[in-house]
Amino acid sequence: MWEMTRDLITLILIPALGWVLLVSRAMETTRLKFEHQAEEVKDLKEEVKRLQARGQKMEVIVGKIEGQIENMSQQLSRIEKLLMARMDSSHG
């Protein structure tokens, strides 16, 4: 009777242990994947912050360029007026 009970326990226990090992390995693999993805998310967040800072700097630069273009436009208008006035005075 003991041998039959032992064989029955062995038949149940060995597959159960195998299943536990497989599940444990799968859980560890999942945990490692999760940690890797969490690290990637962290890196991507840092990259987004760097790009946002760069974008803000670019906005400032573009604002300065726009200001300079506006100044140049005003200067060109003054030059044009001066040339027109000179042309009118030389013909008149």
Interatomic CA distance for residues 21 and 81, integer angstroms = 89
Give the pLDDT of residue 8: 83
Give the pLDDT of residue 87: 87
Which of these, 73, 76, 91, 21, lies nearest to 13 by C-alpha position?
Answer: 21
Q: Is the pLDDT of residue 92 over 80?
A: no
Interatomic CA distance for residues 50 and 52, integer angstroms = 5
Q: Is the pLDDT of residue 91 over 80?
A: no
- Mean pLDDT, the chain, rounded, equals 93
Which has more confidence, 1 or 73? 73
